[in-house]
Amino acid sequence: MAGTMFELETDLGRRRSKVAVGLDILSRVGSLLRECDPGATGRQAGLVTDSRVGPLYGDVVRESLRAAGFELFVHQVPVGETSKAFAVAQALYQVLADHHVGRDGILIALGGGVVSDLTGFAAGTWMRGIRFAILPTTLEADVDASIGGKTAVNLPAGKNLVGVFHQPFLVAIDPKCLSTLDARDVRAGLAESIKHALITSEEFLAWHEDRAGAILSLHEETMAELIRTNVQVKAGIVERDALEQTHTRMLLNFGHTIGHAIESCSDYSLRHGECVALGMLAACRLSVELGWLGVAVAERVEALLGRLGLPTVMPTPIEAVRITESIRCDKKARGGKAQFVVLEGVGRPVVRDDIPEALVAEAYESLLP
């Protein structure tokens, strides 16, 4: 397909997914959906977006879908993490009911990780599962949230506590969408890319260090390579453990146990990637304290986070007791024990459930100003 930089077919559990990366791909999404599912033309398609992304890209996507023969309706939700909630999902269910969407319907998420999580959750639970596609518009969604089929909504007790595995049959990524992100959102999205490097590859970590300036300037070839490598890394891990039944996929949670606690305890005032950055640094320092990781690696991670504009100190301190209480409700806990991904070196992550809570608190407290 003209303009396509990269395509990948992945076998993610019970369903195959196609990931396509290309400039101006949003204008061709209707024909791409037809290629992935030749019988889809004429079906109902619901486009779910948010109040920030809809005005930017909604028209071009609607035109492409209607030109391809889809019977389209659009549903817009408020921008931000508050849209990952049961009340917002219930409103989307009502829209599906009002449009008489059957099991042959399709939902399409246009936006960042919040929109893809909400849309995927609704698609995975409506009539026990209908097909859905993702058109990610943020860097965090490009490199992480859109790949792998995890969908969820939040509860007051914690992030992503209610969800289902539901794989999109298509992910269509347009790197041009990054040009409309503010700088903070670009930086936040880089945390997941650094995470993938730390758990898989010294070479990929060094790539970030060598190209920090090009990354922050959104150099086109650099960003295409960053997206392509991250898609390959995450898809490769998910293919081996699509439903997180072993520790393989859990390795992708590096930095997320403490990061999610920071995110929920801060009432989502910080970006997800900012919290992951803080969580990764705390996990590295925890690994050092336990004697599993050299201090030079933790210092290297701190330096890279700082160069890329990600936080290395808590902007607003939160008491450690609140963080540890939140961790106890973490969805990854097994048998009442929190699961931590720690490092024995770059590319050598391990999952442990025997880390004393006091050491976790100390690792978090190292982030306090």
**116 and 251 fall within a common domain:** no
Residue at a domain's end among 130, 150, 180: 180
| Mean pLDDT of all residues in 298-305 | 98
Active site residue 166: no
**171 and 22 fall within a common domain:** yes
Q: Which of 244, 344, 362, 365 is catalytic?
A: 244
Q: Per residue in 38-72, pLDDT tens?
A: 766 668 999 999 999 999 999 999 999 999 999 99
Q: Which of 208, 272, 285, 332 is catalytic?
A: 272
In a domain, 9, yes or no: yes
Q: Which of 28, 131, 154, 192 is catalytic?
A: 192
Active site residue 352: no
Active site residue 362: no
**151 and 204 fall within a common domain:** no
Tokens read off for 32:
């791409």
Active site residue 256: yes
| Mean pLDDT of all residues in 320-327 | 96
Q: Mean pLDDT lowest for which of 30-44, 156-170, 184-198, 352-366?
A: 30-44
**99 and 157 fall within a common domain:** yes
Active site residue 234: yes
In a domain, 136, yes or no: yes
**76 and 223 fall within a common domain:** no
Query: Domain holding 301: CATH number?
Result: 1.20.1090.10
Query: Domain holding 143: CATH number?
Result: 3.40.50.1970
Q: Which of 18, 234, 271, 285 is catalytic?
A: 234
pLDDT beyond 50 at 2: no
Q: Which of 260, 271, 285, 332 is catalytic?
A: 260
> What's the domain range around 60?
4-180
**148 and 202 fall within a common domain:** no
In a domain, 185, yes or no: no
**219 and 117 fall within a common domain:** no
Tokens read off for 336:
């009442």
Provide CB contacts within 8 A for 325, sequence distance 6+: none
Give long-range contacts, CB 8 A cutoff, 24+ apart: 25-29: 25/172, 25/173, 25/174, 26/57, 26/60, 26/61, 26/64, 26/135, 26/172, 26/174, 26/177, 27/60, 27/63, 27/64, 28/1, 28/3, 28/64, 29/61, 29/64, 29/65, 29/108, 29/133, 29/135, 29/172
**159 and 13 fall within a common domain:** yes
Active site residue 337: no
Residue at a domain's end among 180, 200, 221: 180
* pLDDT value of position 246: 82
SS3 134: strand
* pLDDT value of position 3: 56
Active site residue 99: no
**122 and 195 fall within a common domain:** no
pLDDT beyond 90 at 349: yes
Active site residue 195: no
pLDDT beyond 70 at 12: no
**202 and 162 fall within a common domain:** no
Active site residue 128: yes
| Mean pLDDT of all residues in 236-252 | 88
In a domain, 142, yes or no: yes
How far separated are the first and last CA of the chain, in Å rounded? Answer: 51
Q: Which of 18, 166, 187, 249 is catalytic?
A: 249
Q: CA 316 to CA 320: how far, in whole Å?
A: 12
Q: Which of 159, 256, 285, 332 is catalytic?
A: 256
**246 and 291 fall within a common domain:** yes
Residue at a domain's end among 180, 199, 223: 180
**36 and 158 fall within a common domain:** yes
pLDDT beyond 50 at 358: yes
Active site residue 221: no
In the chain, how many domains are there?
2
DSSP 298-324: HHHHHHHHHHTT--SS-SS---HHHHH
**Residues of the chain above pLDDT 70, percent:** 97
Q: Which of 28, 84, 150, 285 is catalytic?
A: 150
